[in-house]
Chain A
Amino acid sequence: DTGVSQDPRHKITKRGQNVTFRCDPISEHNRLYWYRQTLGQGPEFLTYFQNEAQLEKSRLLSDRFSAERPKGSFSTLEIQRTEQGDSAMYLCASSLLWASGSYEQYFGPGTRLTVT
């Protein structure tokens, strides 16, 4: 399977704990995005990387959130001191930046986070 993969698929944690999610993009895709989706809503942009550089962060990404893409391949999203409001589906997407742009984004299956 050459699609975007995410791990774990589900995570249940207690309030105040730290969690880390991993995303493996489609190979050779140089752009990687993180989105958050709450129940009944569309995904909302959190941040994106071009290769290993994090180029933009949404105002939704509080200072408890940190993302990395150390070698320009897989990415991790860490949430520190989780709160109940962090409960959501965290989606990763990847795309290839061409000279003409970088439009098509392909999503992974997501990581469902439940904070109790």
Chain B
Amino acid sequence: QQQVKQSPQSLIVQKGGIPIINCAYENTAFDYFPWYQQFPGKGPALLIAIRPDVSEKKEGRFTISFNKSAKQFSLHIMDSQPGDSATYFCAASYSGAGSYQLTFGKGTKLSVIP
């Protein structure tokens, strides 16, 4: 059972474009939703995260939009650059489990072409 569904699987945008990556979750107990960026051969790097009590969070060029009723959240990258080319993972966790273990989506491979 996949608890976090991520789309699209891959995405190609022109430099300066605004790629949007979407995630949907099933477990309403989730209360923390981070996004990670991963370059080939590297570990995931925490990019930005949101709690369900806010609908949007912005950090630099990265914005998370959160829709609690639809159980969906998305990542927007403003003014995308070739250096943003990487695989992006959404994830979710909940405090009730005690472990705060992360459940990840399958990832979106983003390519930003000059």
Q: Which residues of A contact B (CB under 8 A)?
A: 4, 6, 31, 33, 35, 40-45, 48, 55-56, 91, 95, 101-110, 112
Contacts and interface: CB of A to CB of B under 8 A. Distances in A.
Nearest to A9: B41
A110 B102 CA distance: 16
Contacts of B41: 109, 112
Contact of A48 (B44, B49, B101, B106): B101
Does more than half of chain A's interface fall in helix, strand or loop, or is it mixed? strand
A42 B45 CA distance: 13
Given A107-B44, A109-B42, A109-B43, A42 B49 contact: no
A102 B102 contact: no
B96 to A, nearest CB: 11
A103 B31 CA distance: 10
B107 A42 contact: yes
Given A101-B95, A103-B100, A41 B106 contact: yes
Interface residues of B, number: 25
A44 B44 CA distance: 12
Contacts of B44: 43, 91, 107
Contact of A42 (B42, B43, B91, B99): B91
Contacts of A48: 99, 101
Given A42-B89, A42-B91, A42-B107, A104 B102 contact: no
Contacts, number: 66
A95 B100 contact: yes
Contacts of B104: 42-44
8 contacts: A6-B43, A41-B106, A41-B107, A42-B6, A45-B103, A56-B98, A101-B32, A105-B100
A92 to B, nearest CB: 8
Interface string B75-114: 0000000000000010101010011111111110000000
B106 A91 contact: no
B12 interface: no
A101 B106 contact: no
B46 to A, nearest CB: 6
